[in-house]
Amino acid sequence: MKSLGTHLILELQGCPADILDDPEVVSRIMVSAVEVSGATLIQPFFHQFAPQGVSGVVIISESHFSIHTWPEYGYAAVDIFTCGDEIDMDAATEHLRRGLGADHIQKMVLSRGALDLPPQRIKHKPSAGDRPALDN
């Protein structure tokens, strides 16, 4: 059964506190993860908590990338939710692991919106091959 989306949940541990507590660094890593995944960036938003921690979301055409950090524990929780089959989740995961300096990562993948419809009735953002050619 075809689903509307894929929800990737990442548990990143062993991350340096100075990375996890810097909203500019976390934002840069998350936005570049969107770029390497092939997703279409719309808008990032990040917030610094007191005394520590960062939460943020990057809205993409295909849904979102989100993060919440606990620098005091070296831990970051990341969710990537996308529709369609065009996003490279493995590239995003590896980029986040390296960028956040995690020494351990756990992944969970869920199918979301598994509807009882024929696959041809479930529409997503068209792939490049499905888009009409532009006249010059």
Nearest to 3 by CA among 110, 125, 131: 110
Q: Assess contact for 2 and 52: CB atoms under 8 A.
A: no
Whole-angstrom distance, CA of residue 15 vs CA of residue 135: 49
Q: Which of 15, 37, 68, 95 is catalytic?
A: 68
Q: Which of 63, 95, 104, 111 is catalytic?
A: 63
68 is catalytic: yes
Reported residue count of the chain is 136
Task: Point out which residues pair with 47 in neighbouring strands.
Answer: 55
95 is catalytic: no
15 is catalytic: no
Q: Which of 3, 61, 64, 83 is catalytic?
A: 83
Among all residues, which ones are annotated catalytic? Answer: 63, 68, 83
